[in-house]
Amino acid sequence: MKMLHVTIQTDKFEEEIRFYEEQAGLRIQEDLRPMGRPIVFLAEESEGVKVEIIQNPEAKDAGNQNLSIGFGAEDLDRKYGQLKEAGYAVSPMQSPGPAVRFFFVKDPAGVTVQFM
């Protein structure tokens, strides 16, 4: 079995798309807006696991305190600085082991995103 996508419903549709494009480096792979459906699928490549974003005016906070989406960053310190500079509240850098470092940030919909 293969994981296909993670779905985020949000009232901040355009901001959510920008976050995953600009901060996670994803690109729109499928866009249903031309068919009248406010849904996009973003991924690094067309066959990769996708983040599906659905516009839902009633979804005020899509976050879940026990859920996070993780991304690998080529330069973790640089990504940390970029997110801070863009105005996001990032967690302190964490290092539970000598070869592991990461931090968390909330996307515009309130989903916790981990960068490692």
Beta-strand (E) ranges in 3-115?
5-10, 27-31, 39-43, 50-55, 68-71, 94-97, 100-106, 112-115
CATH code given to domain 5-115: 3.10.180.10
For the record, the structure tokens of 78 come out as 């640089």
pLDDT, tens digit (0-9, with 9 covering 90-100), for 61-73: 777 777 899 999 9
Q: What percent of the chain has pLDDT over 90?
A: 83
For residues 71 and 114, the answer to whether their CB atoms sit within 8 Å is yes
pLDDT at position 11 over 90 = yes
> Using CA atoms, how far apart are residues 72 and 76, in angstroms rounded to an integer?
8
pTM of the full predicted structure?
0.91
For the record, the structure tokens of 82 come out as 């970029």
- Cα–Cα distances (Å) from 9 to 12, 16, 54, 65, in that order, read 9, 10, 5, 16
